[in-house]
Structure 1
Amino acid sequence: MQVFLYINLVEETAYQQPVVVQVRQAFPALGILDMDARSDELLQHYALRLLQEAEQAVVCIKADDATGQLNNLMPLLEELFQERLQRLVLLQGQHPRLQRIFAARPQVLFKVVEEEQVVEELKDFLINTPV
């Protein structure tokens, strides 16, 4: 199973995320879940299970300097830190703490990207990473 998990930690009121819409259009068969900083525990648990069961997973985290606590995100981050080669983490925006966290874990494939780069990075990863 291939999945795309989009986590929006930026405080905004938009219900539909443009990146998620673009990914759905480009990869209609891909399992997609999007959540935000206010997502409840059940959705977070579902996201964790999705990551654990996926053969390939791309996680895109949208964050900025104003993004506060990451406590709700820690179970997902801990799962990403596991040594599995079929995972890619994309950071959309600048968040120094997240950048330091991932830089300290060379086993995690991590890139900082702009919104318009997400679909291309996803495509490259899914095509070029053996399952």
Structure 2
Amino acid sequence: MIAFLYIHLLSDDQTVAYGTPLLDQVKKQFPDMAVLDVDSQSGELVLHYARQMLQEASKVIVCINSTTPDAGFGSIFPLLELLLANPNEQLILFRNEHIRLQRLVQARPELKAEIVQTEEEVLDQVRRFLV
């Protein structure tokens, strides 16, 4: 299974915004890919599904969208730990800057990470990763 996990890191005063055009595009262009989105306020059931998806996938693409460079991890910190320790082939895409998380990823040279700005750049990186 190939998985696409979209993580939205929210600042403390933000609320969850449902519906992400990027996820619609991923589902449309890669119909066989398992797609899930979580945010830093997600509940335990959603996080359980995300952990299970990360563990079962042979390839994982994670897109992390941070609203601020220092947005907190909230409830998803255990999921991030699993992501950083995941032995499967994975690509981590940063939409916007998150200094602390980028440092964690850079400290692990076996992880592939890219910074992207637009939805089209995300889709291009996904295509390249799957080739």
TM range (shorter): 0.7 to 0.9
TM-score, normalization: structure 1? 0.87
The residue correspondences of 1:104-119 to structure 2 (distance < 5 A) are: 104-116=107-119, 117-119=121-123
Instruction: Name the structure 1 match of 2:19.
Output: 16
Rounded to whole Å, the distance in 2 between the matches of 1:59 and 1:108 is 11
> Residue 83 of structure 1: CA displacement?
5.5
TM-score, normalization: structure 2? 0.87
Instruction: Name the structure 2 match of 1:124.
Output: 128
Instruction: Name the structure 1 match of 2:7.
Output: 7
Rounded to whole Å, the distance in 2 between the matches of 1:94 and 1:7 is 13
Rounded to whole Å, the distance in 2 between the matches of 1:104 and 1:70 is 18
The code of the aligned residue for 1:8 comes to: H
- Structure 1 runs not aligned, ≥5 long: none
Rounded to whole Å, the distance in 2 between the matches of 1:72 and 1:37 is 5
Q: 1:78 aligns with which of 76, 81, 105?
A: 81
Find the residue that maps to 1:81 and give its secondary structure: helix
- Structure 2 runs not aligned, ≥5 long: none
Rounded to whole Å, the distance in 1 between the matches of 2:107 and 2:74 is 18
Count of residue pairs brought into register by the alignment: 127
Contact 1:92 1:114 in 2 (8 A): yes
Identity of aligned residues (%): 39
